[in-house]
């Protein structure tokens, strides 16, 4: 399958060459671990996990109108499934690789994802589900920031997609959730190790997502309550 039939891919070929160089003769254990981490701790898996946790274990509940099951199903649709669906279709048609490695091809997918996140946020806002509204809004603004940066520079979507939700969990569950920070560092290391991104691209993705989440949550979510400590 040709990931870039038009021959305009500005990232995929270079990344594959770098990865072949990194793995060497296939005996690099660290590379294999990094590759596994990158494949397991995907933004989609993290999104599913966060939606599941917030829908069924939010300290403030899911609001008076939407129960946990409804919040979970709506979260799966608007935070997990719809944002990645256009990428999966394009991949199936052979138009992109699964990671959409080409920077110039990412923008349309980002825009569609932003729209679905905002639609989800509106549904949760009118459904008075603050826990789900906050995470949806966070996803929307993080993706918007990543989209703008990506117009000029290839920031890591992978580290952003892990760091934003992880930061949200800390905002919601407080100090008990701090160990998730280790997961952020692990994913940064993995993306650098397999040469999917440079160090700065990986770190920048994490920083941007973390900062924006820390801006969004104080505006819409009741922080520093008893559950935080």
Evaluate whether residue 26 is within a structural domain.
no
Task: Give the closest residue to 101 by CA, choosing from 200, 11, 220, 201.
Answer: 11
Question: What phi-psi label fits residue 149: left (phi over 0), alpha (psi between -120 and 50 degrees) or beta?
Answer: alpha
Confidence (pLDDT) at 224: 59
Evaluate whether residue 22 is within a structural domain.
no
Q: What are the helix (H) ranges across the chain?
A: 12-23, 29-40, 43-57, 68-75, 82-92, 107-126, 130-150, 157-173, 180-193, 199-220
| pLDDT < 50 regions, the chain | 1-9, 12-13, 15-16, 22-26
Helix (H, G, I), strand (E, B) or coil at 223: coil
Confidence (pLDDT) at 223: 75
3-state DSSP helix/strand/coil percent for the chain, to nearest 5? 70, 0, 30
Domain that holds residue 74: 31-220
Evaluate whether residue 123 is within a structural domain.
yes
Evaluate whether residue 161 is within a structural domain.
yes
Evaluate whether residue 188 is within a structural domain.
yes
Evaluate whether residue 185 is within a structural domain.
yes
Name the domain count of the chain. Answer: 1
């Amino acid at each position: 399958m040709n990931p870039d039939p038009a021959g305009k891919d500005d990232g995929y070929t270079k990344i594959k060459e770098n990865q072949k160089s990194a793995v060497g003769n296939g005996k690099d254990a660290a590379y294999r671990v990094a590759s596994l981490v990158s494949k397991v701790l995907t933004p989609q898996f993290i999104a599913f996990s966060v939606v599941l946790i917030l829908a069924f274990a939010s300290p403030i509940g899911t609001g008076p109108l939407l129960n946990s099951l409804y919040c979970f199903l709506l979260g799966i649709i608007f935070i997990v499934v719809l944002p990645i669906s256009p990428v999966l279709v394009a991949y199936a048609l052979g138009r992109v690789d699964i990671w959409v490695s080409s920077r110039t091809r990412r923008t349309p997918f980002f825009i569609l994802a932003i729209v679905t996140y905002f639609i989800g946020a509106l549904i949760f806002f009118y459904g008075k589900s603050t826990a789900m509204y906050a995470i949806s809004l966070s996803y929307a603004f993080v993706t918007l920031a990543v989209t703008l940066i990506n117009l000029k520079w290839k920031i890591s979507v992978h580290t952003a997609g892990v760091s934003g939700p992880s930061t949200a969990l800390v905002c919601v569950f407080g100090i008990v959730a701090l160990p998730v920070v280790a997961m952020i560092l692990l994913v940064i290391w993995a993306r650098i190790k397999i040469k999917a991104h440079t160090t700065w691209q990986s770190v920048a993705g994490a920083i941007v997502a973390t900062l924006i989440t820390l801006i969004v949550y104080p505006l819409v979510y009741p922080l520093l309550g008893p559950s935080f400590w």
